Amino acid sequence: MESAEIARRFLRFFEERGHTVVPSASLVAEDPTLLLVNAGMVPFKPYFLAQQTPPYRRATSAQKVMRTLDIDEVGKTTRHASFFQMLGNFSFGDYFKEQAIPFAWELLTRPESDGGFGFPEERLWATVYLDDDEAQDIWHRKVGLPLDRIQRRDLADNYWHMGVPGPGGPCSEIYYDRGPEYGREGGPIADENRYLEVWNLVFMQFQLSAVRSKIDFDVAGELPAKNIDTGMGLERMAAILQGVDNIYEIDTTYKILDTAADLTRSRYGRDKRADVSLRVIADHMRAGVMLVGDGVLPSNEGRGYVLRRMLRRAIRNLRLLGAGEERHMHPLTAVTIDVMGEQYPELKADAANIHTVIDAEEASFLGTLRTGTAIFDVAVEETKRKGASTLGGDQAFQLHDTYGFPIDLTLEMAAEQGLQVDEEGFRRLMKEQRDRAKADAAAKKTGNADISVFTGILEKSGKVDFLGYDHTTAEANVIGLLVDGASVPAAGAGTTLEVVLDRTPFYAEGGGQLSDQGLIRTGGAEIEIVDVQSPVSGLVVHRGKVRTGEVRVGDQAQADIDLERRRAISRSHTATHLVHRGFRNALGESAAQAGSENSPGRFRFDFTAAGAVSPSMLRDVEDEVNAVLINDLKVNAFYTSQAQARAMGALALFGEKYGDEVRVVEVGDYSRELCGGTHVASSGQLGLVKVLGESSIGAGVRRVEALVGIDAFRFLARESVLVAQLSEQLKTRREELPERIEGIVTRLRTAEKELDKLRSAQVLAVAGELAAQARDMQGVSVVTHRAPDGTTADDLRKLALDVRGRFPGDRAAVVVVSGVPSDRPVVVAAVNEAGRERGLKAGRLVGVAAKALGGGGGGKDDVAQGGGTRPEAIGDALRAVEEAISSAVA
């Protein structure tokens, strides 16, 4: 039975029993405390915590899940996986144990021909919590499971909670006996390799007041409404129903693994090391494709780091299998989309975008491997020169953060050099970086307030009505005030606060559009609003400062947005839609939006692309968009179903999450997108769009910045004045300026090259004189020299090598020269073979000089280069080198 069919049967079974089928939520968790969705119940967490009222009493889902705590173990065993799917049925105060247990038994044992999974009853076992007599009684008396196949287990195995105060309770797990060939008899408590867990039924019946660990918590009492949360791992079920030994051999994984084996001319099951690599590739390709499909882009922090790490581990393991510089991610991505596409058809619709992102990351990482390896070699040489055996955590972090070098690769290469890595220091720096990023993101949305404060307001007062599409001013009631994250009844003049109204014309930042600003007035206060956020769905929070008077919860208010700011932002937002369509027309449908920011008079637009966009194409897109403005097309917004919107050709932004009902914004017949932002009434109101340029902001992602409206006109006016000034100064007509300036620049470059040649010749002219004036230190010829300021580092190196080459081969010689190419001093040391035999090494001598210069450096034993920050210390540096040479040859 294929994985897609397993999911279909599960959902259909519970739908027939009154459960609402809830589509899988994005892997990008809405919960600000989570990086990624890590359990099937996460989308329902607000209902279990009573933060929100569920729209249904019963639900069922097949949820995408990502867990990365054991990522280093992926591939080493056949049990660990980063991406998997959790099938579940949920009850919110509706049914409890007496129905949940029979539901599970019926689905598992019902014949396949009748829509079940066809498990033989005699192969199923159950576990219950130590004192859960009720669950045991249901299993035995209602279901008919013999008592000798029901085992009791303790808190560590059969009790569940969220790790925080809230609901919790015992659970009952269902196991499948794979047979004596997999282990010893005795049930799950004897051998969990033979007895494989297939389903966990959690009975949330208690309110936990304190949670200190998984097995240490306080129970405050029973919940007023008892809940059910179950989880069945789809991959594990597929392994059983497809008759294979583990999750890497099921349909949606093995096809990827087999493709990787074909591409690298390896074979699964023949070599343990190759098997590990193939499993890593298969798992990480599934995880990577699903993350990119949900809009995550590779980066060095947060979710982007998780994605980057997985893709690069896959690429690294392809190289370990002998792939070399060959690029294999494209066919691996294709087969992954194919095998997962039946369950998630949006993957096939977004295939071009997913390919663009992953192909670009592969190209970037192959370059990183070359660059990072060179930087790594320098770090290793410096570590060994110091006599240390451990590569610093800061060096490993720099390799990761600056050059994208994965830590596992650093560890492996360091081990090959006989070195360890300060992993603790690296992890500390990584944690600090992640904590900063997470705190910044959370603070932006919640203003450092406990999210439960917002959900409490939402529960009490209901969803805030947004009136901003049709109104720029509105009467409302103050339903909440927060100061420093805590609810307050009132706030006086000078207080920075957050205001919640029951209805508002203020647009909360979202979809790339910056928030509105403006004023909220009550009978006794005036509040200046500078930011608006939606920390939880359905709630709009206005942030600002009380200018005058005192505002109180319950006050009637008048909310007025800054109309000119709104109009300018709306022009930018509509322009972004047009530019998006323009790039798709120019580059194809793979040019998908990957982010945007719409601010007053200016916008930036990020999109997926394999490479840079040519200036001529930028001009063509700009011309096409401005033609749309001239035609003054009507801008229309309406609501429809998501299916109907897609049928109409409306663009759904890559990675965005939408409900069943969506808002469509169309500009004539030119552009049609799903969008919740504000827009102009017709394209002519934009006036003019001026593209400033494009650049790369990451692997496979380009950024265009542009001006719109009066800002674009002002920019062109300034450009016109500048061109007029240049034309006057160069006595050239405007149209001839490019040719004239190019000629001037060419002549300047030629002159600079000639000057460089003369300067280099002048520097090298003293080589013979320096060699003749060499000092003798116990049989070693030593030259130390300060070159004139402005001498380039390259010329310093040439001079040192030239002087060194003037000594006979059997005469030990050391040459150290220093200068100031710009504002920082540089030192170069060169030692011939005879000098190296006397124990003199260029790298060590440069280190001595660089230390005196307030910097560092190193290199090979024959020639090395370093620098510092103190030009005035060059004399001291050269004297320090002479002393070091004297000590070395004494």
Binding site residue list for Zn(2+): 573, 577, 675, 679
Q: On the CB side of 799, how many CA atoms lie within 13 Å of its CA?
A: 30
Cβ-count burial 851-885 (b if 16+ within 10 Å, e if not) = bbbebebbbebbbbbbbbeebebbeebbebbbebb
Class of residue 786 by CB neighbours under 10 A (exposed 0-12, middle 13-18, buried 19+): middle
Alpha-carbon distance of 479 to 69, in angstroms, equals 41
Residue with tokens 């500048």: 722
CA distance 734 to 723: 7
Residue ranges at the known binding site:
573, 577, 675, 679
Cα Rg, the chain, nearest whole Å: 34
Q: Alpha carbon of 639 to those of 67, 372, 465, 658: distances in Å?
A: 36, 50, 16, 12
Given a contact cutoff of 8 angstroms between Cβ atoms, the answer to whether 170 and 118 are in contact is no
Helix (H, G, I), strand (E, B) or coil at 469: coil
Which residues have C-beta within 8 Å of that of residue 36, sequence separation ≥ 6? 27, 28, 29, 66, 68, 303, 306
Give 300's contacts (C-beta < 8 A, 6+ positions apart): 308, 400, 401, 404
The 3-class SS string of 834-870 reads HHHHCCCCHHHHHHHHHHHCCCEEEECCCEEEEECCC
CB burial of residue 816 (10 Å; 0-12, 13-18, 19+)? buried
d(CA 102, CA 107): 9
The amino acid sitting at 648 is: M
Residues 632 and 682: beta-carbon distance below 8 Å: yes
Using alpha carbons, list the distances in angstroms from residue 786 to 88, 219, 820, 882.
Answer: 76, 78, 9, 13
450: left (phi over 0), alpha (psi -120 to 50) or beta: beta
- Placement of tokens 């017949």 in the chain: 669
CA proximity to 467, closest of 368, 386, 527, 540: 540
